[in-house]
Amino acid sequence: MGNVNYLAVLVCALVPMLIGFLWYGPIFGKAWMAAVGKTEEEIKKDFNPGKTYGLTIVANFIVAYALARIIWFVGATTIVDGLMIAALCWLGFTAGTFYINNLFEGKPMKLLMINVFYHLVVVLVYSVILVSWR
């Protein structure tokens, strides 16, 4: 299955926790809450941090592993190569999918932009870590 640095993938799985804390907190937290139409109290009401964060780390690990495999398959060895692969994967698989969902869900475009660009930042950071630790 090729060489995947599992420590790098694990680090990638944890990095979005910090990015998300900042992105959905001080940077875009109020705008995100307004776009989802909920108050902080409503969001916290049924929130289960152990389950939510635990499953988020597992999902992050899967995404980082998949990107690591793609980087290995194409033979990317430079940060620029990694960034280009991550941006292309984001455009095709994340931005496109989120946009389609947004069209059918009728959610505000502002919410789409906040969410989809968070994922762009995450996969770009993943790519730097994965290529650097290859």
- The string of DSSP codes covering the chain is -----HHHHHHHHHHHHHHHHHIIIIITHHHHHHHHT--HHHHHHT--HHHHHHHHHHHHHHHHHHHHHHHHHHT--SHHHHHHHHHHHIIIIIIHHHHHHHHHHT--HHHHHHHHHHHHHHHHHHHHHHHHT-
Mean pLDDT of 88-95: 97
Which among 1, 133, 2, 118 has a CA at the least distance from the CA of 60? 118
pLDDT digits (tens, 9 = 90+) for 12-48: 999 999 999 999 999 999 999 999 999 999 999 989 9
With bands split at pLDDT 50, 70 and 90, how would you rate the model's confidence at 102? very high
Determine the Cα–Cα distance for residues 19 and 23; give it in Å rounded to an integer.
6
Calculate the average pLDDT of the chain: 96
Name the residue ranges covered by the structural domains of the chain. 6-132
pLDDT digits (tens, 9 = 90+) for 66-82: 999 999 999 999 999 99
pTM of the model: 0.93
Determine the Cα–Cα distance for residues 99 and 112; give it in Å rounded to an integer.
7
| pLDDT of res. 19 | 98
